[in-house]
Amino acid sequence: MTSLITAAGLADALAGERPPVLLDVRFQPAGGANQRPAYLAGHLPGAVFVDLDAELAGPPGPAGRHPLPDPAVLGAALRRAGVSADSEVVVYDDGLGWGAARAWWLLRWAGHARVRVLDGGFPAWTGERESGEVTPAPGDFVPRPGGMPVLDADGAAKLARRGLLLDARAAERYRGEVEPIDPVGGHIPGAVSAPTTENLAADGRLRPAPELAARFAALGAPAAEEVGVYCGSGVSAAQQVLALEVAGIEAALYVGSWSEWTADRSRPVATGAEPQ
């Protein structure tokens, strides 16, 4: 199963004998409004809202703003949304792909392989929409963590030296020119700047696989034996992991990311356009 599904492909799947479970994972980065009201106003038919901050991440703290959730909390949220072990799942967000990719990555990490991201998200859907809450029959999925490679802070630091560690944040944050969220700007020494915005085409969908492969080749991915990704808090970096997979490259996610890295002020910080 591929990791993406088009709006047309999803329409066909929803009309089938066993339609996929739909998860609405619309999400606003740090300080943004909760997107449940937007979900209630209109969503794909049958979709269940999943709160990224509360259900797809643990409480913020020294491990970052969006650390891995407690598997029990994650499992309860997914069962509430109707996810069973044999379900096909499709996740979508408001188009950036950040929230949907985080859900895709977490499901894969938790041992659920049959999950895809709606390419282009909610804006790409031109079919019927509905409003209000959806309460499906509970699912039976029980997370079994370990399905996706994960980095901790020490692992990210080592990978930046022996392989390729990509920084998925905006280039100005990587360079340390501005930092709107975390205590200090800059990047993990040795990391390479690779903003997630460059993974998207003008219509908001992921760029075709050959274009993504060329992009990551230029960043050194094919030559690197190991590839990892981080961002501010492990959300937008999940979109980069998804883009890398579409390009045929496996990558580990540093879930704690910059928000965990800078929580320990003894960790080194590099600035400027070069990895250092």
Query: Which string of DSSP letters, residue by residue, matches 171-228?
Result: HHHHHTS--SSSSS--B-TT-EE--GGGGB-TTSSBPPHHHHHHHHHHTTTTT-S-EE
Phi, psi (rounded to 5 degrees) for 231: -145, -140
Per the structure block, which two tokens stand in for 81?
């949304």
H-only helix segments in 90-143 = 98-109
DSSP H or E segment with residue 5: strand 4-5
Gap between the Cα atoms of 125 and 123, Å rounded: 6
From the candidates 151, 206, 231, 238, which is the catalytic residue?
231
143 is catalytic: no
Cβ atoms within 10 A of the Cβ of 94, count?
19
- Residues annotated catalytic, as ranges: 231
